[in-house]
Structure 1
């Protein structure tokens, strides 16, 4: 319902590619905390079709850094640890400020780990 309401009320369009549009994921964010010289937060990302992602998500981490940078909540080069609902985390930093179309933007680095949790094979009977 949140995603639907946002897309009904706001026009969200990529500044250089009009085919990339609308909000597809909703991120619930915890408060920003300063821990051991870094900025930390926890999030839960609701993906397409209402599934909750177990990852802190790279796209979400990047977006969070962009917003925090624009609000002056994190400095360029400062470490941001974004934690997921299961405790996994991505460590990230804003490494540069730039422009994308007519918008201010950031260049970030993100590091983390992932594990293969399943391998599947699917077939489709043409009949």
Structure 2
């Protein structure tokens, strides 16, 4: 492999060696070779290894696989967190709501009893008091 790298470097240096003045054919060949220099943003593959150029479909498939692999773990974490929250918070929330309902129910029963039951009881007592004694 090191011989391959050395051969490539040697070839590159030969292509870009200074051309003697007056050699028009060599100057034209040199200017054509300048365009094939790799730029730092390009991926240059050697003959031994294929070029890496993943397509969008490959990337999407990889992401989909990772997502599918991560979903069961995330679902389990969410299930545990939800169960823990329900165990801690739900009883307190239900008790507060029931306390509020109980207070509201007692207040409503007192109001209704004063408005309807109390007058009936007073009427019964007055009717009993107005009866002549036997």
Q: Point out which structure has higher relative CO (alpha carbons under 8 A, 6+ apart).
A: 1
What's the TM-score bracket when you normalise by the shorter of the two chains?
under 0.3
The TM-score with structure 1 as length reference comes to 0.20
Structure with max Cα Rg: 2
Query: Which of the two has greater helix per residue?
Result: 2
The TM-score with structure 2 as length reference comes to 0.19
